[in-house]
Amino acid sequence: MIKGKKTLMPDALIDKTEPSFNAEPVLDALIVGAGFSGMYQLICLRDRLGLSAKVLEAGSGVGGTWYWNRYPGARCDSESHVYWYTFDKKLMQDWDWSERYPEQPEILRYLNFVADRYDLRRDIRFNTRVVRADYDAAANLWRVRTEAGELYSARFLITAVGCLSTANVPNFPGLEQFKGDWYHTGQWPHEGVDFTGKRVGMIGTGSTGIQAAPVIAKTAAHLTVFQRTANYSVPARNVPLTPEFKRWIKENAEEIRSLTHETQNGQSFRIETRKALETSPEEREKIYEAAWERGGLQFRAVFEDMMSSKAANDTAADFVRRKIRSIVKDQATAAILSDIDHPYAGKRPPIDTDYFETFNRPNVSLVDVKAAPIECITADGIRTAAAEYPLDIIVFATGFDAMTGPLMAMNIHGRGGEALRESWNAGPRNYLGLQVSGFPNLFMITGPGSPSVLCNMPVAIEQHADWITDCIAHMRANGLDRIEAQQEAMDSWIEKVNQAAAATLLSTVPHSWYLGGNVPGKPRVFMPYAGGMANYRRICDDVAAAGYPGFEMSASERVAAE
């Protein structure tokens, strides 16, 4: 135990032997990552259960995704009144968002406000990257090593490393000879980047590139957008929140929270029950037009069959393509932007502020790198199969090794030294997205196999952290200190994850990061659980209520002997 630190962990569960390599006292729980999930998990375990818990965080501050992604235009696509913690009624009353979609600096301020309010920093070790974690079966402890060589031991290891935190910088030949500056959007310099008077090249047109391009174009001398796969986007229609709306949030905070627990996407809007294919073309057009005007992710929710029927989806896809062609004045550019090869929202659907309008600026041009791929980076810019583009700055808006990347980077080894990397070499496998057979006492927050990125993240995060907390409380109450997902439970869960994906159009887009399609060599497996957040919550609750079937719980020998 940490000297002088109160813990409620029963003596029987405490490892009293100091392992030879261990420099730190044994903790009840070690959490990796101090973003939305790690911060809340710390509150749950330390303040609710009274455990000794610490967080290791690679960054120098809290925030996770919102600490790293400081690129111009970075903003949340969920609306602010559902993008926060809801575990504390008073906290919801004490924070005001300023805009419909909170911008990165405001979210980071919010997370710092939460860290201050619950005095979290005293148990977070910053600038500390985990480079290896081993399960020590004899001691029933996780042994964790950091980049600086520090060693930690803990009964439970909880990964709160985010889904989109391992930057994917494509391996273009010649990057090292580029004379200008280059940046990945997910590792943006804290001091910002001055684009004034610069020739900027931006690779990537996912949610990030679509947010960044309009902002970069405002100050750059010229912005060249290198597009491989054309993408849909719907206007966000961001606005400052009125005093009336802010009051409405406070007065209805509990009802909004309940609604986010009932919907399949953790949002405060429901997916309509009407079907696109049973709606007349005129009526459909009106519905899409109204959704386009309202803006935001809700566009996806206007027809029940949009994500399950290709024919229904085609009506939405056709609407957005027509919008792109009506906004973008240069017909050649409009044709490249609207030549989209996948269903609407088959990849994560971006929302934007003036993205397509940006291509009407005289200082912005589009390069189709599907037609003429990028061959290399030269000292002076980017060379494609068709031309060379001289640049001062290159922005990689090229996404992430999503979901599994951050877990693999921790170099996790389970029982008998089995590496997670090996165990998952054909794609991630787990039970309920929470635990992997062979890796006792390891819990994953919003990892593969859970709704995670298909849900409004704070809703998914609170559900996971609460479930893990209740599970650990149950174990403590029953004198148990070891939990491991059973192989059969894992196999049948993965079947459910695959079935859920196959029932939607999400699994039909080979280049989507949901499927690992954006990282060369990554197994093509649909990673998140697409069966809906409300359904998933029910499944997890039922498992807990039934005494955790599918998990094997036990008392390690020392505990059993007492």
Q: Is 397 in the site for ligand NA7 (CB under 6 A)?
A: yes
Check if the beta carbon of residue 52 is closer than 8 Å to that of residue 476.
no
Contacts of 560 (CB under 8 A, 6+ apart): 554
Between 199 and 348, CB nearer to ligand NA7: 348
The count of other CB atoms within 10 Å of the CB of residue 187 is 14
**Would you count residue 528 as binding ligand NA7 (CB under 6 A)?**
no
Residue 369 in the binding site for ligand NA7 (CB under 6 A): yes
State in angstroms the smallest separation of the CB of 47 from ligand NA7: 30
3 state DSSP class of 253: helix
Q: Between the CA of residue 110 and those of 147, 161, 194, what are the distances in Å?
A: 29, 19, 26
Residues in the chain: 562
Cβ of residue 208: shortest distance to ligand NA7, in angstroms?
A: 3
Segment contacting ligand NA7 by CB under 6 A, of 30-38, 202-210, 296-304, 545-553: 202-210
Whole-angstrom Cα distance, residue 444 to residue 464?
8
**Cα 279 to Cα 288: distance, rounded to the nearest angstrom:** 12
- Stretch binding ligand NA7 (CB under 6 A), from 34-42, 87-95, 235-243, 396-404: 396-404
Q: How far is the CB of 198 from ligand NA7 (least distance, A)?
A: 21
Residue 511 binds ligand NA7, judged by CB under 6 A = yes
Residue nearest to ligand NA7 (CB): 206
Q: Is 214 in the site for ligand NA7 (CB under 6 A)?
A: no
Strand partners, 141: 136
In the shown chain, the binding pattern of residues 465 to 504 toward ligand NA7, with x for contact by CB under 6 A and - for none, equals: ----------------------------------------
> Least separation, in Å, of the C-beta of 543 and ligand NA7?
28
Among 201-209, 322-330, 383-391, 443-451, the segment contacting ligand NA7 (CB under 6 A): 201-209
Which of 27, 39, 51 lies closest to 160 in space, CA to CA? 39
How near is the Cβ of 525 to ligand NA7 at its closest, in Å?
16
Nearest distance from C-beta of residue 170 to ligand NA7, angstroms: 3
CA distance 546 to 542: 6
- Which residue from 346, 91, 313, 95 is spatially nearest to 230, judged by alpha carbons? 346
Interatomic CA distance for residues 7 and 236, integer angstroms: 47
Interface residue with ligand NA7 among 41, 140, 159, 205 (CB under 6 A) is 205
Rounded to the nearest whole angstrom, what is the least distance from the CB of residue 319 to ligand NA7 in the complex? 21
Yes or no: say if 140 and 441 are a contact pair by the CB < 8 Å rule. Answer: yes
- The smaller minimum CB distance to ligand NA7, of residues 204 and 451, is found at 204
Binding of residue 513 to ligand NA7 (CB under 6 A): yes
Nearest to 249 by CA among 375, 124, 100, 105: 100
Burial annotation 476-487 (CB, 10 A radius, 16+ → b, else e): beeebbbbbbee
Q: How far is the CB of 206 from ligand NA7 (least distance, A)?
A: 2
Q: Residue 518 interacts with ligand NA7 (CB under 6 A)?
A: yes
Q: Using the minimum distance from each CB to ligand NA7, give the nearer residue, 84 or 135.
A: 84
Whole-Å CA distances, 303 to 238, 287, 300, 558:
23, 9, 7, 57
Number of CB atoms found within 10 A of residue 327's CB: 18
Q: Which of 30, 32, 164, 236 binds ligand NA7 (CB under 6 A)?
A: 164
Contact between 208 and ligand NA7 per CB under 6 A: yes
- If the CB atoms of residues 140 and 229 are measured against ligand NA7, the closer one turns out to be 229
Subset of 114-143 contacting ligand NA7 (CB under 6 A): none
Q: Does 265 bind ligand NA7 (CB under 6 A)?
A: no
* Binding flag, residue 229, ligand NA7 (CB under 6 A): yes
Is the Cβ of residue 460 or residue 559 nearer to ligand NA7 in the bound state? Answer: 460
Q: Does 203 bind ligand NA7 (CB under 6 A)?
A: yes
- The site string for ligand NA7 over 167-186 (x = CB under 6 A, - otherwise) reads ---x----------------
Sign of CA dihedral 304, 308, 312, 314: positive
DSSP strand pairing (482-485 vs 364-368) = unpaired
Q: To which residue do tokens 């995060």 refer?
A: 461
Using the rule CB under 6 A, is 446 a contact of ligand NA7? Answer: no
When asked if residue 215 is in the footprint of ligand NA7 (CB under 6 A), the reply is no
Instruction: Kindly state the smallest distance separating residue 212's Cβ from ligand NA7, in Å.
Output: 9
**Secondary structure (3-state) at 365:** strand
Cα–Cα dist 225/369, whole Å: 10
Distance in angstroms (rounded) separating the CA atoms of residues 480 and 469: 14
Tell me if 524 contacts ligand NA7 by CB under 6 A: no
Among 86, 165, 207, 463, indicate the residue that binds ligand NA7 (CB under 6 A): 207
Tokens representing residue 90 in the block: 């008073």
Binding residue for ligand NA7, selected from 321, 348, 383, 476, defined by CB under 6 A: 348
Tell me the site size for ligand NA7, rule CB under 6 A: 22
Query: How far apart, in Å, are the Cα atoms of 461 and each of 12, 160, 444, 540?
Result: 30, 9, 10, 13
Would you count residue 383 as binding ligand NA7 (CB under 6 A)? no
Closer residue to ligand NA7 in complex, CB, 46/348: 348
Q: Which of 35, 63, 399, 550 binds ligand NA7 (CB under 6 A)?
A: 399
Between residues 49 and 397, which has the closer beta carbon with respect to ligand NA7? 397
Burial 271-297 (b: 16+ CB within 10 A, else e): bbeeebeebeeeebeebbeebbeebbb
Q: Considering the complex, what minimum distance in angstroms separates the CB of residue 162 from ligand NA7?
A: 10
Least distance (Å) from ligand NA7 to the CB of residue 399? 2
CB 42 within 8 A of CB 509: no
Residues 6+ apart with CB under 8 A from 32: 38, 55, 56, 57, 130, 144, 157, 158, 159, 160, 161, 410
**Does 104 contact ligand NA7 by CB under 6 A?**
no
Interface ranges with ligand NA7 (CB under 6 A): 164, 170, 203-209, 228-229, 348, 369, 374, 397-400, 453, 511, 513, 518
